[in-house]
Amino acid sequence: MPNTSHFPPLFISHGSPMTALEPREAGAFMQDLGRTLDAKFGRPRAILAISAHSLARQPVLLAGAKHHAVYDFGGFDPKLNTLRYDAPGATELAAQVQALAAQAGLPLLSLPQGGLDHGIWTPLRYMYPAADVPVLPLAFVPSQSPAQQFTLGEMLAPLAEQGVLIMGSGSITHNLRLVFGQGQPPAIDAPEIQASAEFRAWLQARAAAADWPALLDYRRQAPHAVAMHPTDEHLLPWFVPAGAGGRNSPAVRIHESLTFGSLAMDAYAFGPAALQLAQALQDPGAATL
């Protein structure tokens, strides 16, 4: 019988590809997140994944019957290229998403091909290591605004009530020049720079207040927004699960950590069930109540 739990849509910062080998605080959180979701909401019938590394000229579903890990990076530990994540596809969900898009008048293509970029398979290796949950990647349009991504999420909202985990993957801060632009990168546990701290604090406060007008206009209103996101493709996936969560619910930060002094690994939950998830993560015993 399919799971009909109301899953809170999520945004997860996936970090460097090395997160798959060096989990640190964020990897430990992802493991805990998978266990907590199972205990509190059950196993999702499918995962609809929106990653900063799957981009297209118009929204596209990768609706292949099977997936494999795509090694969309270079210059890292060769061991990364030996990691696998052979998850099943979600062809039935693809048809459902296309029907929702048609009702909303949003253009949406579906291609019978598989493949999970590292923004998807890295967190899922920790959350669901058996690779037994069907996955449907949704490539988004990086030139579209936060408001357009939010509208895309609103179209997907019914799925969250039908056992589908809507997961955005990107980075709360993402200026790689601060990490690699000076030759030798900072220490992975370097203290946080002020611009990163101020941007993260603003985002968390506006999210907790459900101040969607400010959040959708973050590039003008948030402190150091352009410095933290010279291009914003790594934050745009935040707005898709936000839209799926709805305008009437605050967003809840469910994890915060940092690497290299400015690459934040924060995660958020959205919608009416977000607070339940946050409480269950803080109190593991609550997940079984």
Give residue-wise pLDDT tens across range 220-234.
Answer: 999 999 999 999 999
Nearest to 32 by CA among 119, 118, 123, 121: 123
Check whether 2 has a pLDDT greater than 80: no
Q: Identify the domain containing residue 145 by its residue range.
A: 10-288
How many other C-beta atoms lie within 10 A of the C-beta of residue 218? 21
The closest alpha carbon to 17, from 179, 232, 142, belongs to 179
Q: How confident is the model over 196-212, as pLDDT tens digits? A: 999 999 999 999 999 99
149: exposed, middle or buried (Cβ count in 10 Å: 0-12, 13-18, 19+): buried
Is 155 among the domain residues? yes
- Lowest-confidence range among 83-92, 122-131, 177-186, 239-248? 177-186
Query: Looking at residue 5, what is its pLDDT?
Result: 72
Distance CA 125, CA 240 (A): 22
In a domain, 261, yes or no: yes
pLDDT of residue 286: 52
Query: Does residue 281 sit within a domain?
Result: yes
Total Cβ atoms within 10 A of residue 50: 31
Percent of the chain with pLDDT over 90: 93
| Residue 126, pLDDT above cutoff 90 | yes
What is the total count of domains within the chain?
A: 1
- CA dihedral sign, ordered 108, 111, 114, 115: negative
Pick from 123, 57, 137: which is nearest to 94 by CA?
Answer: 137
pLDDT given at position 289: 41
For residue 4, being part of any structural domain is answered with no
Q: Which residue has the higher pLDDT, 286 or 176?
A: 176
Is 1 part of a structural domain of the chain? no
- 57 C-beta neighbours (distance < 10 Å), count: 10
Provide the whole-model pTM. Answer: 0.95
Structure tokens, 210: 């459900």
Whether residue 215 is contained in a domain is answered as yes
The structure tokens listed for 14 are 């996936």
Please say if the pLDDT value at position 1 is more than 50: no
Residue 137 · residue 59 · CB < 8 Å: no
Per-residue pLDDT for 3 more than 70? Answer: no
Alpha-carbon distances of 64 from 48, 110, 278, rounded to whole Å: 13, 9, 33
Residues 6+ apart with CB under 8 A from 98: 61, 108, 110
pLDDT digits (tens, 9 = 90+) for 94-110: 999 999 999 999 999 99
Q: Work out the pLDDT band at 4, boundaries 50, 70, 90.
A: low
Tell me the CATH number at 229. 3.40.830.10
* Residue 219 pLDDT grade (very low, low, confident, very high; cuts 50, 70, 90): very high
CA distance 251 to 246: 9
**Structure confidence at residue 174 (pLDDT):** 97
Which helix (H) or strand (E) segment holds residue 49: the answer is strand 46-51
pLDDT of residue 284: 64
* Residue 125 included in any domain: yes
Helix/strand/coil for 258: strand
User: What does 89-127 look like in DSSP terms, one character per residue?
Assistant: B-HHHHHHHHHHHHHHT---EEES---B-HHHHHHHHHH
Find the mean pLDDT for residues 271-281: 96
pLDDT of residue 181: 77
pLDDT score recorded for residue 288: 47
Question: Among 136-140, 153-157, 183-187, 261-265, whose mean pLDDT is lowest?
Answer: 183-187
130 Cβ contact list (under 8 Å, min separation 6): none
In a domain, 3, yes or no: no
Residue with tokens 């990168």: 185
Is pLDDT at 285 greater than 80 in this prediction?
Answer: no
Neighbours of 115 (CB within 10 A): 17
Nearest Cα neighbor of 5 from 159, 155, 168, 154 is 159
Q: Give mean pLDDT, residues 106-123.
A: 96
